[in-house]
Structure 1
Amino acid sequence: MRRLTLIILLVCLGLSAHSQINNLSSFDGRLLHYGIQVGYTQSKFDLKFSENSALRDSMQGVTSYYNAGFHIAVIGDLRIWKYFNLRLLPGVTIINRELSYSWEHAFFDAHPHLDIRRNVESVYGEIPLEFRYRAMRWKNFRPYVTGGITYGFDFSSLRKNKNNNDEAIVRLNPHEVHYTIGFGLDFFLKYVKFAIDIKAGFGIINLWVEDDDIYSRSADYLKSRTLMFSFTFEG
């Protein structure tokens, strides 16, 4: 996170040298333009622990932690009004989320407390639809806020099969929907528009799929939580 913040700061300082001349002065007047987005993702699960599971299996809790990922998308931007744009960003997101299961076994004197971790790898094909409100341009800078909704399909779910009870794979609903809110800053360079974008995503639907094993009975619901740091190039 510190390294990413430093990179963003250095990029902003470097681009500020171009602010004396108004680059791409007619760019935002276009009805339609395209671009590409690449970025870094931090993802985890928001979940509710099942108390019934704790009574039945001596499980004390389930915790999820943020893990790193990557996303890439193409951009289609439609100008609606002077300050509003509608954007479609179909792309791919690769993430690896982790679940930690806490157990208590009073009859095990040597190891009464045990944590078991399961990785949940996902490769989402996503179709985000976003609305963007842009402030007035100042020289070669233009801040904005954005919000939207994203549908995703987890292609890795097609190959997830449970091998045995010791290495049970956590199964998720392959269909995922979340809403996003965020902000960013456009930099108008000589030939392209560059932007730094920060968004948060909040899952809407329950991803949890219950199987006949102790791990899948450990939660009542599970939803996605995502932080996205993106760089966009539009021309």
Structure 2
Amino acid sequence: MKKIFFLFIFFIAFQTTEAQWLFSKEKIKNKENFDKQRWSWGYFLGFNSYDFKFEYEGQAQDVIVEKSLGFNVGLLGNLRINDYIDLRLEPGVVFSGRNLTFPDIPEDNFREVKSTYVHIPLLVKFSTKRINNFKPFVVAGVSTSINLSSNENNPDDNSAGEFRMINNTNYYEVGFGIDLYLPYFKFTPSIRGIFAMTDELKRDEDPNSPYTGNIDSMSTRGIFINFTFQ
């Protein structure tokens, strides 16, 4: 997660030249009437880092999760409620990867989890008053996803080398960002945490499986860094 955070800082720093006039005392405003529209549209590109949170039945060594950098892409639909509140839908596709190591198992203890999600968040955006050409905000909401790589319906389980997850997961999300009003479009870097509300583990057929038998729940948590263009 450190890599993805530093990447976010890099992109913010890259905007330093623009930031000089965003924070200046000049009263010229770019896209001055943009936020007065009832509806607005856009798209986003970004990065993610997904993790798992495990809860165990009894004592057990923690499953080791190795995270990797993933990619997000999607669309944005924004409904203006008033000057400070917006309702937004951000359907997209998320590509992520995690590697699991089960330290209690002496052999065949590694599983590669590659996931492709159709991710659909419904978010409420709370903004401050616009200052020249920037406007900070916080965002919170709920989301659902369909894991196209879940293996839920695969009859093979870990005894055959297949790690399985359920297809559908629900999350809550919180984050923050800054709207930057450039001469020809609005650019918004943001960072958001996502936290699954449901158990995502599809258990092995053997109730005493060394892979899933002692796991009470397995849920996703992660970070999104998105760059939105409107």
- TM-score under structure 1 normalisation? 0.85
Q: Residues 23-43 of structure 1, C-alpha deviation per residue, up to 9 Å, x if partnerless?
A: 001111110010001111010
Aligned equivalent of 2:222, options 219, 223, 226: 226
One-letter amino acid of the counterpart of residue 72, structure 1? V
Q: Which residue of 2 aligns with 1:16?
A: 19
How big is the shift at 1:187?
Answer: 0.4
- What corresponds to 2:128 in structure 1? 135
**In structure 2, C-alpha distance between the alignment counterparts of 1:167 and 1:3, rounded to whole Å:** 39
Specify whether residues 218 and 77 from structure 1 end up closer, same or farther in structure 2 by C-alpha distance, changes over 3 A only.
Answer: same
Residue 83 of structure 1: aligned partner: 84
Structure 2: gaps of 5 or more residues:
none
Q: For residue 176 of structure 2, what is the aligned residue in structure 1?
A: 183
State the identity as a percent: 29
* Residue 120 (str. 1) matches residue 123 (str. 2): no
1:18/1:189 contact within 8 Å kept: no
Task: Specify the alignment match of 1:63 in structure 2.
Answer: 64
Structure 1 position 63, deviation (Å): 2.7
2:103 partner amino acid:
S
Report which of the two structures shows the higher radius of gyration computed on alpha carbons: 1
Counterpart residue identity of residue 72, structure 2? H
Contact 2:152 2:164 in 1 (8 A): no
Aligned partners of 1:162 and 1:68: how far apart in 2? 30
Structure 1 vs Structure 2 CA RMSD: 2.3
Task: Give, in angstroms, the shift of residue 104 of structure 1.
Answer: 7.0
Number of residue pairs matched? Answer: 220
Matched letter for residue 215 of structure 1: Y
Alpha-carbon distance change, 26 to 165 in structure 1, aligned in 2, over 3 angstroms: closer
TM-score by length of 2: 0.87
Q: Does the Cα contact within 8 Å between 1:162 and 1:168 map onto a contact in 2? A: no
CA offsets, 1:72-99, max 9 Å, x none?
1100000001100000011101111222
Q: Distance in 2 between matches of 1:225 and 1:117?
A: 20
- Change in Cα spacing, 1:49 to 1:64, as seen in structure 2 (3 Å) is farther
Are 1:68 and 1:95, in contact at CA under 8 Å, matched by a contact in 2? yes
- 8 Å CA contact retained: 2:30, 2:133: yes
Distance 1:115 1:141, change over 3 A: farther
- Tell me which protein shows more strand as a share of its residues: 1
